[in-house]
């Protein structure tokens, strides 16, 4: 019997890979949970509510959005996970982290407080493995956020699979962006019923990052969540 599982969803490539691997391992995704800021954009990745909702539609999964500041992030995440546990009858929540121990410890903590267990399908893989799996599976994404700490401003909006990964490593940039060097927006993947037609939007110069507010065009108006 397939076990029900929830997913911590950012709208980015690692979330999409985690979802793919979990399904391949026999788990049954029930719901996507995305933490958003007060303007309705996903935390860290900066993906709009509209695009998050369309990602959920093409994945044929319900989406739960939970607004939170960074200051009360833990308590709000616990609250959302606790509610999801009962509404969707899940025992686990999956996360897309690779090997940063502090991230795993936090995820295990909030899951424990919510009566769930944390599942990390990417955990322990090398950065090269993760990058190659994303590209080989056809998970397509664009860089939605880039850190000002590195000289990669021109990569904002670039296709992830087309990055010069050798050059990035020479600059000290993690090829998966695991340390916050960049974040992505997934617009197509093997599990998507159809690709999303996204376009570059307004660019924001924030304190530590540059952010591209992508917009979506031409989504099939008949595309609805299948019960």
CA angle 19, 225, 37 (to 5 degrees): 65
Mean pLDDT to the nearest integer, 89-106: 95
Least confident segment among 64-73, 82-91, 127-136, 218-227: 218-227
Answer positive or negative: Cα dihedral of 80, 219, 23, 45: negative
Mean pLDDT to the nearest integer, 76-91: 96
Q: For residue 59, what are the domain limits?
A: 4-216
Residue 225 placed within a domain: no
- The answer to whether the beta carbons of residues 84 and 6 sit under 8 Å apart is yes
Residue 226 placed within a domain: no
- State residue 2's pLDDT score: 66
**Token output for 152:** 């990669």
Ramachandran angles phi, psi of 184, nearest 5°: -130, 170
**Token output for 213:** 């507010």
- State residue 226's pLDDT score: 37
**Token output for 173:** 């940039």
- State residue 220's pLDDT score: 53
Q: Is the pLDDT of residue 146 over 50?
A: yes
CA angle 177, 180, 185 (to 5 degrees): 65
Residue 111 placed within a domain: yes
- State residue 225's pLDDT score: 40
- State residue 63's pLDDT score: 98
Distance between CA atoms of 140 and 109, rounded to whole angstroms? 31
Quote the percentage of the chain above a pLDDT of 70.
95
Residue 224 placed within a domain: no
Distance between CA atoms of 209 and 2, rounded to whole angstroms? 41
CATH code, 93: 3.40.50.620
Residue 188 placed within a domain: yes
Q: Is the pLDDT of residue 94 over 60?
A: yes
Q: Is the pLDDT of residue 19 over 70?
A: yes
**Count: domains in the chain:** 1
- State residue 87's pLDDT score: 96
Residue 221 placed within a domain: no
- State residue 227's pLDDT score: 36
Q: Nearest to residue 196, comparing CAs of 177, 172, 215?
A: 215
Distance between CA atoms of 56 and 68, rounded to whole angstroms? 20
Which tens digits make up the pLDDT trace of 167-226?
999 999 999 999 999 999 999 999 999 999 999 999 999 989 999 999 998 655 434 443
């Amino acid at each position: 019997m397939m076990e029900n599982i929830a997913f911590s969803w950012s709208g980015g490539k690692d979330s999409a890979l985690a979802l793919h691997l979990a399904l391949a391992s026999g788990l049954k995704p029930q719901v996507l949970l995305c933490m958003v800021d007060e303007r309705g954009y996903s935390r860290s990745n900066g993906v709009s509510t509209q695009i998050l909702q369309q990602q959920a539609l093409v994945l044929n999964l319900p989406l739960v959005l939970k607004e939170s500041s960074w200051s009360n992030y833990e308590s709000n995440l616990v609250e959302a996970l606790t509610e999801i546990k009962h509404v969707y009858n899940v025992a686990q929540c999956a996360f897309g982290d690779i090997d940063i121990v502090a991230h795993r410890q936090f995820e295990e903590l909030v899951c424990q407080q919510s009566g769930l267990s944390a599942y990390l399908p990417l955990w322990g893989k090398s950065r090269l493995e993760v990058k190659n799996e994303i590209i080989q599976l056809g998970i397509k994404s664009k860089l939605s956020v880039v850190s000002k700490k590195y000289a990669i401003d021109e990569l904002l909006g670039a296709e992830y699979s087309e990055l010069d990964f050798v050059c990035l490593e020479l600059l000290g940039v993690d090829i998966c962006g695991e340390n916050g060097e960049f974040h992505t927006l997934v617009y197509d993947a093997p599990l998507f019923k159809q690709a999303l037609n996204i376009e570059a939007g307004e660019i924001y110069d924030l304190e530590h990052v540059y952010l591209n507010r992508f917009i979506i065009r031409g989504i099939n108006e008949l595309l609805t969540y299948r019960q």
